[in-house]
């Protein structure tokens, strides 16, 4: 019987990605080996509650949404994450996986929408990026850059071009709250005519930094 350590399961509006604003069930797995400078989920680094996959699925069915996001922490840190993703897909949920990009995604079920970070210089974890993961991204998947400075922006633009990312998947540029002025980032994207999706964290605009929102 597969057991996962879960920080929280909650129902809210999707605050990021291309499904922003859609009511979604979030499954937050515990644990992460990264320590990004802008991390807003440090409470998920440890603790949590052990739950079987059946228990998790029972909790998910309490809500009417057909959208589920598996997040963290870093969800792929726990080996049972792959099995959880398969079960959710078998139940015909639209499932997205939010991952740091520091773990191999080759074995992620192809039915899962992958939302993968590429860590920028300001994150302090840029050396964790596994660029071979880009080979496993398709048209439904997304790469996210959290931009915290002009250096981050220049780096993200370079990576965008070097790997021709927009021909592989969707690309998201998100301002790091408290570090990068969102209007400035939006204007820079327009000035450079980048074929990316600008996004802000909707949940923070609505509820601030309240966990489970």
Percentage of the chain modeled with pLDDT above 90: 91
Q: How far apart are CA 208 and CA 201, in angstroms?
A: 10
- φ and ψ of 111, to 5 deg: -80, -10
State yes or no: pLDDT of 210 exceeds 70. no
State yes or no: pLDDT of 212 exceeds 70. no
Q: What is the DSSP letter of 92?
A: T
* Global pTM value: 0.94
Residue 204: per-residue pLDDT = 83
Residue 55: per-residue pLDDT = 97
Q: How far apart are CA 197 and CA 174, in angstroms?
A: 9
Average pLDDT over residues 8-22: 94
Percentage of the chain modeled with pLDDT above 70: 98
State yes or no: pLDDT of 213 exceeds 80. no
Of 44, 30, 39, 34, nearest in space to 126 by CA: 34
Of the pLDDT bands very low, low, confident and very high (cuts 50, 70, 90), residue 201 is confident
Task: Walk me through the domains of the chain, giving residue ranges and CATH numbers.
Answer: 3-207 (3.20.20.70)
Residue 207: per-residue pLDDT = 83
State yes or no: pLDDT of 211 exceeds 80. no
Average pLDDT over residues 25-40: 96
Of the pLDDT bands very low, low, confident and very high (cuts 50, 70, 90), residue 206 is confident
What is the rounded average pLDDT for all residues in the chain?
A: 95
Of 107, 119, 99, 114, nearest in space to 82 by CA: 107
Average pLDDT over residues 167-191: 96
Q: What is the tens place of the pLDDT at every residue in 63-115?
A: 999 999 999 999 999 999 999 999 999 999 999 999 999 999 999 999 999 99
- Residue 190, token pair as written in the block: 């327009």
Of the pLDDT bands very low, low, confident and very high (cuts 50, 70, 90), residue 116 is very high
Q: How far apart are CA 104 and CA 84, in angstroms?
A: 17
């Amino acid at each position: 019987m597969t057991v996962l350590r879960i920080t929280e399961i909650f129902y809210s509006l999707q605050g990021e990605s291309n499904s922003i604003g859609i009511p979604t069930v979030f499954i937050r797995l515990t644990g992460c080996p990264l320590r990004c400078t802008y991390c807003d989920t440090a409470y998920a680094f440890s603790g949590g509650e052990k739950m079987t996959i059946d228990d998790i699925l029972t909790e998910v069915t309490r809500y009417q949404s057909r959208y589920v996001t598996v997040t963290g922490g870093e969800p792929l840190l726990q080996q049972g994450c792959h099995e959880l993703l398969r079960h959710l897909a078998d139940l015909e949920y639209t499932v997205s996986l939010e991952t740091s990009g520091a773990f191999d995604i080759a074995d992620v079920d192809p039915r899962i929408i992958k939302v993968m970070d590429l860590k920028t210089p300001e994150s302090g974890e840029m050396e964790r990026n596994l660029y071979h993961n880009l080979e496993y991204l398709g048209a439904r998947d997304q790469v996210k850059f959290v931009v915290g400075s002009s250096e981050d922006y220049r780096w993200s633009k370079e990576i965008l071009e070097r790997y021709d990312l927009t021909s592989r998947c969707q690309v998201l540029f998100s301002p790091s709250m408290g570090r990068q002025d969102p209007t400035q980032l939006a204007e820079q994207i327009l000035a450079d005519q980048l074929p990316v999706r600008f996004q802000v964290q909707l949940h923070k605009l609505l509820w601030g930094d309240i966990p489970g929102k």
